[in-house]
Amino acid sequence: MKVLSSSFIFVILVALITGFIQVNAESVHCNNPLSRCNGKYVECPYECPSTYPKDPKSKVCYVNCDHPQCKASCKTRKASCDTPGSACYDPRFIGGDGVVFYFHGKSNEHFSLVSDSNLQINGRFIGHRPEGRTRDFTWIQALGILFNSNTFSLEATKSATWDSEVDHLKFTYNGENLVVPEEPLSIWYSPEKDVKVERVSRKNSVIVNIKHTVEILVNVVPVTKEDDRVHKYQVPEDDCFVHLEVQFRFFNLSPKVDGVLGRTYRPDFENPAKPGVAMPVLGDENKYRTESLLSADCESCIFSLQIGSNKEISSVTDYGTLDCTHGGSAGYGIVCRK
């Protein structure tokens, strides 16, 4: 019987650690005809060998279908507030151009965050105006999504005090309440499989995927006492303003996309925020105000239920965030295999 040398064993260990040898790693297959990587299988990295990890805290493997080398990479499964496409805090946005800006809107009103020919995403703002201030402190409390002839909403329920053991998420699909079991990685699909809601943790953190259109990572958080102290919000005792931290990943946006956040993805967008300003505020509340969470009636809205086949595809089209989960394609344009 041969005995392996210590040097050989050392080489094998180094290879495993650096990822040159994969153990039970999945391969991801890009199945999108618009991608240069269409039809290719790419092995997941050592750091995230699975597209559907058992531990919800683990990073997930995804295929960058628009990468020149068709690269598979790792991503976290919770919303990041420091990434382009994010909307957090009171509210602070990072646009598709990577520039940070604020849009305060107004408490108890709705605003178009993204409006494209086949997608409308509105946000409901909550907050209050302490005595002596000239504007409201606001946070995003709910998202309303219109696509094709369907509607989907997600909201953070009100609470006087924060309890992390209580789920503060409420969902509707086409006007009907829906329930996503409070278990890590539990999934709800719409009847047509064009909407997927996946819990990242048991409570207050989900990923919403509208097929071929947008992926939304959502955390539910309160305004903490420390936030209140630092920013002098003067939060009342009967409301901790439970709200959403959101990270959007868009696919197939058109060059005419609009909305508070959507406009920053236009190829011709010139950010009016002045360089060096600590808190640049972009206004136009009247331009983006909608009548309700699930309406597309604002001055700048371009969403239409009549989707034409000649829709322009923007240069900002992003397939780099497509991923496969739950061990198969689930109709999202990606195939996974062990």
One-character DSSP codes across 252-302:
S--TT-BSTTGGGGSTT----SPTT-SS-B---HHHHEESSTT---STT--
Q: What is the pLDDT of residue 17?
A: 45
Q: Are residues 134 and 110 in the same domain?
A: yes
Residue 13 resides in a domain: no
Structure-token match 């943790």, residue found: 201
AA letter at 257: V
Q: What is the pLDDT of residue 50?
A: 76
pLDDT at 19 over 90: no
Q: Are residues 53 and 179 in the same domain?
A: no
Measured between alpha carbons, how far is 93 from 280 in angstroms, rounded to an integer?
10
Q: Are residues 156 and 212 in the same domain?
A: yes
pLDDT at 230 over 90: yes
Domain boundary (75, 96, 111) is at 75
Q: pLDDT for 39-74, tens place per residue? A: 788 888 888 887 766 665 667 777 666 667 777 877
Q: What is the pLDDT of residue 24?
A: 56
Q: pLDDT for 78-137, tens place per residue? A: 888 999 999 999 999 999 999 999 999 999 999 999 999 999 999 999 999 998 888 999
Print the domain residue range for 218: 86-290
* Confidence category of residue 34, pLDDT binned at 50, 70, 90: low
Strands 137-147 and 119-128: antiparallel
* Confidence category of residue 308, pLDDT binned at 50, 70, 90: very low
Q: Are residues 43 and 102 in the same domain?
A: no
Q: How far is CA 131 from CA 127, 128, 137, 238, 283, in A?
A: 13, 10, 12, 17, 22
pLDDT at 268 over 50: yes
Q: What is the pLDDT of residue 327?
A: 35
Measured between alpha carbons, how far is 205 from 167 in angstroms, rounded to an integer?
9
Instruction: Check residues 66 and 326 and name the one with the higher pLDDT.
Output: 66
Residue 133 resides in a domain: yes
Residue 154 resides in a domain: yes
* SS3 (DSSP) at 7: helix
Residue 8 resides in a domain: no
Q: What is the pLDDT of residue 4?
A: 56
Q: How far is CA 70 from CA 41, 114, 132, 209, in A?
A: 9, 29, 55, 22
* SS3 (DSSP) at 16: helix
**Domain count of the chain?**
2
Residue 323 resides in a domain: no
Residue 286 resides in a domain: yes
Residue 103 resides in a domain: yes
Domain boundary (247, 268, 290) is at 290
Domain boundary (43, 75, 107) is at 75
* Region 8-19 average pLDDT: 47
Q: pLDDT for 209-222, tens place per residue? A: 999 999 999 999 99
Q: Are residues 151 and 234 in the same domain?
A: yes
Q: Are residues 228 and 129 in the same domain?
A: yes
Residue 1 resides in a domain: no
Q: Are residues 39 and 92 in the same domain?
A: no
Q: What is the pLDDT of residue 25?
A: 67
Instruction: Check residues 18 and 199 and name the one with the higher pLDDT.
Output: 199
Percent of the chain residues past pLDDT 70, beyond the cut? 76
pLDDT at 23 over 50: no
* Confidence category of residue 14, pLDDT binned at 50, 70, 90: very low
Q: Are residues 51 and 105 in the same domain?
A: no
* Region 282-310 average pLDDT: 84
For CA atoms 189, 192, 193, 194, the dihedral sign is negative
Q: Are residues 104 and 38 in the same domain?
A: no
Q: What is the pLDDT of residue 161?
A: 95
Measured between alpha carbons, how far is 88 from 105 in angstroms, rounded to an integer?
14
Q: Are residues 120 and 59 in the same domain?
A: no
Measured between alpha carbons, how far is 74 from 51 in angstroms, rounded to an integer?
9
Q: Are residues 218 and 274 in the same domain?
A: yes
For residue 287, give every residue at least 6 positions away whose Cβ sits within 8 Å of its Cβ, in sequence order, or none: 298, 299, 300
Q: Are residues 262 and 130 in the same domain?
A: yes
